[in-house]
Amino acid sequence: MKRVANLCLAYLFIVAFLNCEVRADIKLPAIFNNNMVLQQQSKVAVWGWAKPNDNVTVTVSWNKITYNTKSNEKGYWRLKIETPVAGFTPYTITISDGKPLTLGNILIGEVWVCSGQSNMNMRMRGCPDGPIEGGPEAIVLSSNSGIRCFTVNYVAKATPLDDCSGIWETASPQTTPLFTATGYFFARLLNRVLNVPVGLIHASLGGSSIEAWMTSNSLKDIPGIPVPATDTEITNPYNTPTVLYNGMLHPIVGYGIRGAIWYQGEANRSESALYAKMFDAMIRDWRNLWGIGEFPFYYCQIAPYDYGDAYNSAYLREAQAKVMTTTPNTGMAVLMDANSEHAIHPANKRNAGERMALWALAKTYGMNKMHYRSPEFKSLDIEGRVAIVTFDVSTDPGLTTYGKEILNLRIAGKDKQFYPAKAACLANKVYMFSPSVAEPVAVRYCFDDTSATELFSIEGNLPVSSFRTDNW
């Protein structure tokens, strides 16, 4: 009897083993998990891995539709599902290759990628060199099932990864401290105004250069930027080309999104002449990789800061502003009032996030009658010794200095020597002169590392960026 029992146990073990070989469990990328937000009213991609050449079904609870596909010879499968209008009803998705896997508490809403360097990576709890202005109160009041964030854990690789690590978290005092602060304030305003769930996919790294977030394809026309062939060639992950894209962005490319927000540039301030070209190439390449058209891309201009070196960061701010003219469907949030001369991580991340949200509300969500963009230089006129700068805002209500003197304007004549100017603001114009310049030909405003703006739009209270009228 004992022998028979042992034979039976052996038989059952063999059957169980063969069943494991015949039927493999579905494996999904980390981005597809409980609590995720899917982009509303879209055909969003879902993908994963199963046994090679296996049948896979995906059933969604909002309309009970089942989608069918088949994995390839390596087990990879991918299909697209249709999502309904945004709402706060939680749904489920069941993926099966014979053994079902169900994802729960899924919301349909607006999904945005958040990327860049430390000013995007700075969390709601603050960082070692400073807190978030208003952060503690915002965290305590942050309980909201309609705001969710997936933070991609740091990885740098020489070749693109198929997956990353991270989890979807729902906003609450327990979780919000680790949310990207800029992203959180962006999401919070969209959530309040649109009354829809907002999902953030956060992939950033402090100190990282733009080329680290670019693909080798987007860098092919950029001279002097070597791309590593193996991980052993990654000497510095923060500025090695392609490695952060490969490790942190490639695994989520294709996930259904509305657009992207970006806060980066400090690490590239010595390459201002090249930055606009790289930025344009990166945005166009991301759009091509996602395959959903020219999705909106909004970004923060770097704030004034005393870097203490030979590079004038105003040139980098100028390059960032240029991208709005070269790259469709982009918009820049100006942070010239960040009070950040001695803080490379400005504490007021609410302005950073909400000013990008204003762009999104106006340009992406159709609320274009509101004032959403900072005034920009329009023209320079010379009347005798007076230079007159006109901005692209209406004369009513125009600009304001809030009663402060304008101290950061400079005028030059043909000798290219700049002198401080006396100035007055009226409607959408600024009139200025210098007793040292008899025939002005050029004007610069806040065109250095640290000068903060004194000019704001009355409607919207948005700061004027640094600018110059010359190309010297």
Domain 110-364, CATH number (from 3.40.50.1110, 3.40.640.10, 3.30.390.30, 2.60.40.420): 3.40.50.1110
Q: Where are the domains of the chain?
A: 24-107, 110-364, 377-468
Nearest-angstrom CA–CA distance, 294 and 330: 9
| Alpha-carbon distance values, 109 to 363, 456, 469 (Å) | 18, 34, 43
Q: What's the pLDDT score for residue 334?
A: 98
Type of residue found at 41: Q
Within this chain, domains 24-107 and 110-364 share the same CATH topology: no
Nearest-angstrom CA–CA distance, 312 and 332: 20
What are the two backbone dihedrals, phi and then psi, of residue 394, each rounded to the nearest 5 degrees? -70, 155
Type of residue found at 257: I
Q: What's the pLDDT score for residue 16?
A: 43
Closest CA to 211 of 186, 237, 189: 237
Residues 6+ apart with CB under 8 A from 386: 431, 432, 433, 440
H-type helices in 62-180, by residue range?
Answer: 118-121, 135-140
Q: Which tokens sit at 2?
A: 């004992």
Q: What's the pLDDT score for residue 129?
A: 87
Q: Per residue in 232-255, pLDDT tens?
A: 999 999 999 999 999 999 999 999
Q: Which tokens sit at 77?
A: 């499968």
Q: What's the pLDDT score for residue 3?
A: 53
Q: Are 115 and 86 in contact (CB under 8 A)?
A: no
Residues of the chain with pLDDT under 50: 1-2, 4-5, 7-24
Closest CA to 49 of 18, 28, 31, 73: 28
Q: What's the pLDDT score for residue 394?
A: 93
| Alpha-carbon distance values, 126 to 44, 146, 196 (Å) | 34, 23, 27
Neighbours of 424 (CB within 10 A): 12
CATH class as words, domain 24-107: mainly beta
